[in-house]
Amino acid sequence: MPGIVVGTDGSSGARAAVLEAARLAEALKQRVVVVSAYGTNAMAAVSPEAVAHAGDGRDAAEEALRAAKADLAGAGVEFDVRAVCAGPADAIVDVAKLEDADTIVVGSRGMRGARRLLGSVPNAVSHKAPCSVYIVRTD
């Protein structure tokens, strides 16, 4: 069954994207797959200091997925979660390809100014995605 892939890092913006993915999935009778990235590439996307202080970030990714599960449990939609060792954009796009997803949902965080030019996660996903990308305004 085609579905919706949504990325989370546990932030409030990512939570908004997860909730919007649930709303879409309910309306379209689709399944949601929530992805959280970890590894030095995933942590470096947040900040270089995060790599030194958080190891590979697997614990943070698992915590973000636990929060997403709690949000989705009451939403009445079928869902799955995946912690993926990769950079955030690559993790989301790779899972979308594996799942043959119809839509990727991401939050808009990082889509302004210099970060947009340098390559935010939503920007990278929109360029690499094998399907439609829905960018949720999160600010």
Q: Per-residue pLDDT for 93 more than 70?
A: yes
> Quick one: pLDDT at residue 111?
45
Domain parsing of the chain, residue ranges: 3-136
pTM to 2 decimal places: 0.84
Alpha-carbon dihedral angle through residues 24, 28, 30, 33, given to the nearest 10 degrees: -20
- Torsion, Cα 70 71 76 77, to 10 degrees, reads -100
Choose among 37, 40, 44: nearest CA to 55.
40
> 72-83, pLDDT tens digit by residue?
998 889 999 999
In which band, very low, low, confident or very high, does the pLDDT at 129 lie, cut at 50, 70 and 90?
A: very high
- The second-level CATH assignment, the architecture, of 3-136 is 3-Layer(aba) Sandwich (3.40)
